[in-house]
A and B are shown apart, each in its own frame.
Chain A
């Protein structure tokens, strides 16, 4: 059964927060990605944890970074959501 965006979002936010080593305040959809302190390692780790926690496969290819031109955490969550539903 496909999970709705509303169900996934809190889990995705929590995973992103775990890897946001540079984050000082609260995490929300509006938080700029640049403020998270995440790097190339974090992207790989976030994908892995999404797969582990949600029991899904994220068809993410590290060679074709689909997260290239995102600005906010909301953009990241939407991108993950799209990948998960593929």
Chain B
């Protein structure tokens, strides 16, 4: 008997707002959270546009003593998980803990702890903090959540750069389908806004020096953001039996690899992942499909993704609503697939498509309907979230109404 996957909880900590409601309001208002900020370490500093989250100190202080001392990426994951768990209404008792999975990914891990450790060692000749290792390991967020909720089922971190969040959701769904768990915390977290990391991204020459303008001809690159997105996934009968409020179904997941290049994206890889995500979904009307694009705002991603979408939807591509919410919340790297899945679910549930903001110049290479600058009311039947990582790893999640 096949086991279907439904979503019963959402949690978001994003530059647009540190709850799903605040995230939703920012998305539909077309608000841009990108701002120029300076980061320093010892005698070094740089100033770059980023999408940070401010004002979480009080909520972090309410976390457990161990989470209070964790790296920021674990803390953001815990805040997102709290919201998702509360919405699900699940009580994580002994029996449920044994049947719950916790797959929380991160693209990098405890980057700012790493940076601080090196600054202490190399600039101040001090030893790194003794908890450095426990803070930086990429599984730290997943482990902290297992402790917080008494999860004793499958738990680990996935890491696939910008596709991490989507992989975490997809792999969690597969674990539930296989019978290894009935419920999963699924998502990802990223918090790399610190001097060393930003200098490294800058060295790659893909950071925008102003804002993020996906699909617009004058786009200048990506803007790094921080945050976490966590979903509660649940086996459908398990959710129905307890009378849960089912938010939507996760009706498709596709993943593959380009097998070609570390930097350059591949049309066939991206298209193949979308096709796999759509294989059990019948699309009667492409105007009722929303694609939350990977849409990084880099020179290469946006036309490649446009061609991939065209190759999947053919003549129907012009009817799609496609937008990159990265124009508002920046690129959350590993966490992108987590919060963008939530953006896709919000569009599906509310019948409003979030826009691509900062769009002001058409590009002949990017010729789809990107919902420029203003949210749009539209009845959505299928919502896709695209994630295509450096290293050619692709993951796409697809949601339908419950």
A residues engaging B (CB < 8 A)?
21-22, 37, 39, 41-42, 44-45, 47-48, 52
Contacts and interface: CB of A to CB of B under 8 A. Distances in A.
A5 B129 CA distance: 27
B2 interface: no
A74 B65 CA distance: 23
A39 B130 contact: no
A-B interface, 6 closest residue pairs, ranked by CB to CB distance from nearest:
A48-B130, A44-B130, A21-B65, A41-B66, A41-B69, A41-B131
Interface in B40-54: none
B134 interface: yes
Given A47-B130, A48-B129, 11 more contacts: A21-B65, A22-B65, A41-B65, A41-B66, A41-B134, A42-B65, A44-B131, A45-B69, A45-B131, A48-B127, A52-B127
Contacts, number: 21
A7 to B, nearest CB: 24
Nearest to B134: A41
A39 B65 contact: yes
Contacts of A41: 65-66, 69, 131, 134
Contacts of A22: 65
In this complex, the member of A41, A44, A47 whose beta carbon has the largest number of chain B beta carbons within 10 angstroms is A41
A52 B127 CA distance: 9
A69 to B, nearest CB: 22
Where chain A touches its partner, the secondary structure class is helix
B65 A45 contact: no
B130 A45 contact: yes
A47 B129 CA distance: 11
A21 B130 CA distance: 18
Contacts of A21: 65
Contacts of A39: 65-66
A37 B66 CA distance: 11
21 contacts: A21-B65, A22-B65, A37-B65, A39-B65, A39-B66, A41-B65, A41-B66, A41-B69, A41-B131, A41-B134, A42-B65, A44-B130, A44-B131, A45-B69, A45-B130, A45-B131, A47-B130, A48-B127, A48-B129, A48-B130, A52-B127
A44 B69 CA distance: 12
Contacts of B65: 21-22, 37, 39, 41-42
Interface in B47-70: 65-66, 69
Interface string B315-345: 0000000000000000000000000000000
Contacts of A48: 127, 129-130
Contacts of B129: 48
Contacts of B69: 41, 45
Nearest to A48: B130
B16 to A, nearest CB: 32
Interface string B127-170: 10111001000000000000000000000000000000000000
Contacts of B130: 44-45, 47-48
A32 B253 CA distance: 53
Nearest to B135: A41
A76 B134 CA distance: 24
A42 B68 CA distance: 12
Contacts of B127: 48, 52
Contacts of A52: 127
A18 B345 CA distance: 45
Nearest to B69: A41
A9 to B, nearest CB: 23
A47 B65 CA distance: 18
